[in-house]
């Protein structure tokens, strides 16, 4: 009994929050529209979705805009299992000012 109490005290005594599992990969996705529902599910499962109005809509629109500009992202978006994974591996990073400019300049995607 004493060991159990020590274990509970060491863990803070609070159970871990229950989160829903990520949606399965969007198999056979070929277009941005094919992954839209998956992107909505991923952002909908994020804790911020409950606290920030239009979180899912705004972020889904951002991803769909990136996908429209770079259709090769479909494969990456279909495989992403979390929002963090999606944003880290599939999207152009946004700097502290909310701009993609520094990344794009560093990559020199302009073709110059």
Q: Is the pLDDT of residue 111 over 70?
A: no
Whole domain around residue 50: which residue ranges? 17-107
Q: Is residue 48 part of a domain?
A: yes
Q: What pLDDT was estimated at residue 99?
A: 60
Q: Is residue 2 part of a domain?
A: no
Domain count, the chain: 1
Q: Is residue 5 part of a domain?
A: no
Q: Is residue 93 part of a domain?
A: yes
Structure tokens at 59: 């972020």
Q: Is residue 4 part of a domain?
A: no
Structure tokens at 81: 């299992």
List, for residues 86-107, the tens digit of each pLDDT value.
Answer: 999 998 777 666 665 554 455 5
Q: Is residue 7 part of a domain?
A: no
Q: Is residue 9 part of a domain?
A: no
Question: How remote is the C-alpha of 21 from its chain's centroid?
Answer: 14
Q: What is the pTM of this model?
A: 0.64
Q: Is residue 12 part of a domain?
A: no
């Amino acid at each position: 009994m004493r060991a159990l109490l020590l274990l509970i005290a060491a863990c803070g005594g609070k159970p871990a929050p229950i989160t829903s599992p990520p949606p399965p990969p969007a198999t056979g996705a070929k277009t941005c529209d094919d992954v839209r529902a998956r992107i909505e599910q991923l952002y909908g499962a994020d804790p911020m979705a409950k606290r920030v109005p239009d979180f899912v809509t705004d972020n889904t629109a951002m991803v769909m805009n990136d996908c429209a500009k770079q259709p090769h992202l479909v494969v990456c978006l279909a495989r992403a299992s979390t929002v963090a994974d999606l944003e880290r591996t599939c999207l152009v990073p946004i700097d502290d000012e909310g701009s993609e400019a520094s990344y794009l300049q560093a990559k020199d995607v302009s073709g110059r």
